Amino acid sequence: MVSHRKAGAGALILACSVIAGCGGDSPTPTLRLTSYGAVQGVDDTKLSGTLFWKGIPFAKPPVGTLRWKAPVEPAAWTQTLQTQQFGSACIQNGRVYGPGANNTYDATIGTTLNTPVGSEDCLTLNVWRPATAETNLPVIVFLYGGSNISGYTADPVYDGANLAKKANAIVVTANYRVGVLGFFNLAQLKTGANANDDSGNFALLDNIQALRFVQNNISGFGGNSNNVTLMGQSAGAINVWALVASPLTTGLFHRAVPLSGGISLASNLPAGVLPTLNPAVNYAAQGTILLNNLLVGDGKAADAAAAQTFAATQTNAQIADYMRSRDAKTILTSIVTKGPNASGPIPDGTVLPVDPIAAIAAGNYRKVPILAGNTAEEGKLFQSLFTLLARPAGFIITDAARFSLMQNYNPNAAPAVTIASLVDASYLPPETAVTGYNATAAFFGTNFFYPSRDNVLNTLKTQQSNIWFYQFNWAQEPAPWNVVHGASHAFDLPFIFQNFGPSLFSNIANSKANEPGRLDLSDAMASSIAAFAKNGDPNNGTLGVTWKPWPAKLIFDATQTTKQISVQ
């Protein structure tokens, strides 16, 4: 691998001298060389003030014998690769938070719910940079959320152009495998030949491979490979925390921004709260369930018990071949109808320590500056999980109907819905103590997000002081959405990326009335990410206050007309 990179670097220097295509002021500023071959991007100076490259392969397609294996470096290409379009989303079951049939946010999302979308051939990344000749720019690599069962870089909220220009930085977004194709712990797939393959953490290994691509190639796009900020939200934040704790990430990033995530096992937390990480044995049980369900579905066994008996008659290699021969859509359809659907990092002891919090407490982690964040009302995005409390689901409207409503909503007109037309009556009035909508949603912050936050940040505090935390309080959506969602999980992302639509929640959140305060707050949030990426410290002149390290909290909020930033 080292000799290949050196050869690629030599080819890059030679090619740049021939085609003058690697400098920002060259005749062809969007023609760049990677260690695998040339890529042709887009000069978007007039629209966004940036240059971009989309759909650059950073690994071979993880298909056939490469399914459920660590990513492999892509084969070199000899012809210039046209990189003007996003690569396909990794295959996943459709959700309102994922792609539709066209790999983007459009009406087909509402018609592909709970059906497979995307492709296994999906390991590509995207690069945005300011349309200038500057080099040695900070680099921000972003990992999307989606419960580690969905997500895609072509989501318009994650478009990197505005953040790249605002932060004067390179912004990279990278696809990674999700669901059982990204995290899968099945004994029969383990050969003992490669610990990474046996780990089951294929999504984390995809993240690592993308970071390696950045290390080896980002200078050709004007980035500083020694100043890489790894940022992720929700599942992406859990993955960021996993990579902070991973022994495989030395030198791959230099700052971390995990937003609304954690990395705590139940054993790390107070009794009764929900962990953000489950032990490997849990995922082994899920792997066995999926194998059994597929064997029953294929007629090889009558029920789960018979499937286990049948599997015991097969060699590991036979079961591995069987699993890799199954169509990915068949696997995902089985999960929709029979489960299990939970997914996430596996503390296997190779890619991820068996107890990441213990590893951090012992100083065995990437000791980099940390900027973490949460929203004030995380649980308001998880109305379907209200059933975990032995109560009805929060919404009385289907995902398909809700998607259509949000896509066509006019935030500047009189309210077209009431909270009673959206939320189950048992949660109304929403402000009712204990049983109301607000209190029920708050359970998931109090008992899931915040305990893991406190656990990891307090553990880090024993090792380092350069830790900052923000809480996002903005809830200025038009009624009734200011109550239905308010400062919900993921609602801080448009402010950071400065992308307010069109996207999933844009029509119910962003009105002309709240625009002045919203943009003012966005400027401060994006400026803070910019300062952190550049200096490892988020303090900057837009805040108007001094952002003190954890356990202090910076509160990001705004009225309809102006930002309101404070420290707690």
> With 70 as the cut, is the pLDDT of residue 7 above it?
no
Over 80: is that where the pLDDT of 502 sits? yes
Q: Is 13 a residue whose pLDDT tops 80?
A: no
What pLDDT, in 10s, does the model give residues 513-544?
Answer: 999 999 999 999 999 999 999 999 999 999 99
Amino acid at 12: L
Q: Is 204 within the bounds of a domain?
A: yes
Confidence bin at 28 (pLDDT 50/70/90)? confident
What gap in Å lies between CA 256 and CA 466, rounded to an integer?
A: 11
Domain boundary among 267, 300, 320: 267
pLDDT at 311: 98
Q: Same domain for 256 and 403?
A: no
Domain with residue 120: its CATH number is 3.40.50.1820
What is the reported pLDDT for 136?
98
257/406 same-domain check: no
Whether residue 400 lies inside any domain: the answer is yes
The per-residue pLDDT for range 290-321, each reduced to its tens digit, is 999 999 999 999 999 999 999 999 999 999 99
236 in a structural domain: yes
Q: Which residues pair with 238 in a beta bridge?
A: none
Report the share of the chain in percent with pLDDT over 70.
95
Coil, strand, or helix at residue 243?
helix
pLDDT at 387: 97
Domain count, the chain: 2
pLDDT band at 24 (very low <50, low <70, confident <90, very high): very low
Instruction: Report pLDDT digits (tens) over 167-183.
Output: 999 999 999 999 999 99
**Do 66 and 212 reside in the same domain of the chain?**
yes
Between CA 531 and CA 499 the distance in angstroms is 19
Q: Are 22 and 156 contained in the same domain? A: yes
Question: Is the pLDDT score of 137 beyond 50?
Answer: yes
Neighbours of 400 (CB within 10 A): 15
Whether 348 is covered by a domain: the verdict is no
Share of the chain above pLDDT 90, in %: 95
Say if 459 falls within a structural domain.
Answer: yes
Residues 72 and 192 in one domain: yes
Check residues 24 and 178 and name the one with the higher pLDDT. 178
The pLDDT-based confidence of 2 (bands split at 50, 70, 90) is very low
Residue 398 and residue 258 share a domain: no
User: Does the residue 529 lie in any domain?
Assistant: yes
Question: With contact defined as beta carbons under 8 Å apart, do 190 and 198 qualify?
Answer: yes
* Predicted confidence (pLDDT) per residue in 317-337, tens digit: 999 999 999 999 999 999 999
Domain boundary among 267, 283, 298: 267
Question: Which of these three, 252, 267, 282, is where a domain ends?
Answer: 267
Residue 282 CB neighbours (<10 A): 16
Which pLDDT belongs to residue 27?
52
- Domain carrying residue 156: 2-267
Q: What pLDDT is attached to residue 99? A: 97
Give the integer Cα–Cα distance in Å for 567 and 268. 28
